[in-house]
Structure 1
Amino acid sequence: MQPTVIFLIGSAGSGKSTIGQWIAQQYNYCYLDKDTICNTFTGELLELKGYSRNDRDGCAYYSEVVMPLEYQALLNIANDNVQLGRSVVLDAPFLSYFPDPHYITNLIDKYGWQQTRVNLVVLQITVDDKVLRTRMQERNLERDQWKFDHWDAFIEGLRSKHCLWEGISKIQFDNSSATIHTEHLKEVLDIHSIHE
């Protein structure tokens, strides 16, 4: 069976991790969370340059230098699994890469995924603004403080970013409910040839 790569995208606090872990268990995928993979070295790199470990939003050094390294590490690990025939779910926002229509086709060329006939899917998790704020307050992470301090700008930024990637199937899933509608999610994923 050809491997699948799911780009699990959406805002911090949208429930990507819970959904990504459910998919990994349901379909026996490798689950790769950018934060788990990168946060240790990201914090060190930021501190070495005199920033707080939690400086992300509004920090040019993070967005221009560190973040590309995070995504490179995430995608390199994903490709190692794909080359072994393992399907992967990638848990990362990818928001900064939405405007580039060639983002996916460039990855296909870089990693030779055309030859391995990788099935590529975007699963975008959406959530009601009020629910999002509540979830972010409940998770209580220091790196979310900028978002709370600039809430209207943060929400407007989310609304203005649309995934323009070409060459990939796209699914949207509303995760505003208190519990994940797993049967509906499974139906949606199965339509896009994601099988156990």
Structure 2
Amino acid sequence: MKPVLIFLIGSAGSGKSTIGKKLAAEHHFCYLDKDVVCNTFTGKLLEAQGYSPHDRDGNTYYLDTVMDLEYETLLNVANDNLQLGRSVILDAPFVGYFRESDYINHLVAKYEWQSVLPVVLRVDVNVDVLQQRLKSRGLERDRWKLDHWETFVQGIQANTCMWENIEVISVDNSSDEFDLTHLTALLPMSAAMSS
């Protein structure tokens, strides 16, 4: 059975983490959250350059230097698990790579993932619900998003994943209730996850 690699994408506050953790627990996937894997070293790198440890949105140093390090670290950890035959959920925005149509092909070649089944699970949410969730969770890293709401929403709407050779499954997470069984049935590897 091929290990599955889920690229769990969606806006901050869309509920990616909740969905990812439920899927991982139900199907015994390795769950990797970019913030958990990378926030400590990212914060230190930003502070070393005189920035707030939360200063990512619009920060040129973060975008040009740190972001690629974060994703390389995340993907290296994922690869170790995939090489052991363990399916993985990657909880990370990946927005900075959406325009690279050959992104998945590049990863497959770099990590030799010929025996891996990649899929994108995109979590969508109503913008009013999203704004309320970001306000409610009260995280410092969301301040820029809330202070520049129209710009943030326009960015979400403009950022379409252009990756080739990968199936994209969309799920609306605007409701307070989430049907994990329905989601599992939507995923093309549901038979593999249940075995």
Q: Deviations over 1:166-188 (max 9, x none)?
A: 01111000000012122221211
State how far apart, in whole Å, the 1-side matches of 2:135 and 2:177 are. Answer: 18
The gaps in structure 2 that reach 5 residues or longer are: none
State how far apart, in whole Å, the 1-side matches of 2:33 and 2:156 are. Answer: 20
State how far apart, in whole Å, the 2-side matches of 1:67 and 1:191 are. Answer: 30
| Residue of structure 2 in register with 1:179 after alignment | 177
Between the two proteins, what is the percent identity of the paired residues?
Answer: 55
Kindly indicate whether the alpha-carbon contact (under 8 Å) linking 2:10 and 2:16 is maintained by their aligned counterparts in 1. Answer: yes
1:155 to 150, 153, 156: 153
The 5-angstrom pairing of residues 1-196 of structure 1 reads 1-114=1-114, 117-190=115-188, 194-196=192-194
**Stretch of structure 1 that moved more, 147-156 or 186-195:** 186-195
Q: Deviations over 1:38-94 (max 9, x none)?
A: 000000000000000110001000111111100000000000000000000000001
> Against the structure 1 CA distance between its residues 157 and 194, is the aligned structure 2 distance closer, same or farther, given a 3 Å change threshold?
farther
> Against the structure 1 CA distance between its residues 29 and 191, is the aligned structure 2 distance closer, same or farther, given a 3 Å change threshold?
closer
State how far apart, in whole Å, the 2-side matches of 1:153 and 1:192 are. Answer: 37
Q: Deviations over 1:107-138 (max 9, x none)?
A: 00000001xx1100000000000000111111
Kindly indicate whether the alpha-carbon contact (under 8 Å) linking 2:184 and 2:190 is maintained by their aligned counterparts in 1. Answer: no
Q: How many residues align?
A: 194
> Against the structure 1 CA distance between its residues 153 and 194, is the aligned structure 2 distance closer, same or farther, given a 3 Å change threshold?
farther
- Equivalent residue of 2:7, what SS? strand
- Equivalent residue of 1:124, what SS? strand
Question: Shift of the alpha carbon at 1:195?
Answer: 1.9
> Against the structure 1 CA distance between its residues 193 and 163, is the aligned structure 2 distance closer, same or farther, given a 3 Å change threshold?
farther
- Which aligned segments of 4 or more residues in structure 1 are displaced greater than 6 angstroms? none
* TM-score normalised by structure 2 residue count: 0.97
State how far apart, in whole Å, the 1-side matches of 2:104 and 2:31 are. Answer: 19
> Against the structure 1 CA distance between its residues 44 and 80, is the aligned structure 2 distance closer, same or farther, given a 3 Å change threshold?
same
- Equivalent residue of 2:123, what SS? strand
